Structure 1
Amino acid sequence: MVDAIEQFNQAYRNERNPLTGKRLTKDERSIFVKGREGSSGTVAQGITNAIIAPNNKNVEKPTIFSPSVSHWLALVNFHTGRTIFDLADSLPTALTPVVMAIWESRLKAIQAKNGGTAVGWEELLAVFNSPNGWADYDIPGGRTTVYYGHTDPLISSTALSTCGAHRGFATYFETSH
């Protein structure tokens, strides 16, 4: 976004319309965009606070909010109880997958138990939810504990996406050949 904002602002500095490249007419005026770093989750919470808790120290009132995933827009609507963002007409600026990594030995163990099929969220959740953990998958060494980590879903788009991923995202692991 930094480069896109700079290109946009530079076009106006040169008195050109950034969309058409043509000189500004007397009816057009320059616009300056100021971006700032911050997590989408923190800004979304700030927008929510601006509506329901305006005395909170985290209050945001951006003119444009372009979060990395639309989940944040839906959460602002949900938390405020209002339609702040039109979700139907809010098109994404980019689509990015949620990527997970797993030890190849664990991947093969899950695949062996599931007939060699690709491993997705449902299969991974089965390991997490099993009281026996990895013991159900014949992992050598007697390790049963399943270790899993992701970033904070209150501020991280990837973590927020991950928390709901097993209900709609098609993310699969494949062994390399």
Structure 2
Amino acid sequence: MGEKWVELHHFVAQTLYKKRSMSSTPALLAKKQVSKEYPAWLEYALRLSRVRGYFTLYPSRETAKAIIGVHSDVPDAPEEYSRDESRPKSPKDYSDKVDEDFDPVSPVDMLETLPHNGELQSPGHLPLLSWDGQAKTKDSFAEDAGEYTTLFRREVGECGEDYLKKHPIANNMAGDLFCKTKV
């Protein structure tokens, strides 16, 4: 999320305010998309990413195996879900699921794992996946973001059709996603 933390903070604050001020929770907010293994704020990060059309770059499996070490120590479960625990989990329930151990002294050169002899592709030529794992083109990814933005502004932001037709400019305070009253 990098420099998007300010936008995320305002997005979360305004979403929570809207959720509390509405008589019923909009369907868009009622359905949980992120597992309870992760902190609750990731749900908001996913929503903001979908609304704005943000995406994350990940290394290939081969590169990831060469540069990333997986820790299998017992993590603390997110405290916001601690009441949901029906029974205490054993350390085996928390351990990371990996095929092989990371070797920090591996002789594999990370650059050798990159496609095209390490020559980086332009971002426009990288494969895109939607948040649910479907292959997308740049245009279809942007179209999905536009549709989700309109749905979010209508259901959560309580924006009227006149406002939605204007295509408001995004700002780093997420104010363009929320309206005071329906038009």
Regarding TM over 0.5, the answer is no
Q: Higher RCO, 1 or 2 (CA under 8 Å, sep at least 6)?
A: 2
| TM-score interval, normalised by the smaller of the two chains | under 0.3
Q: Which has the higher helix share?
A: 2
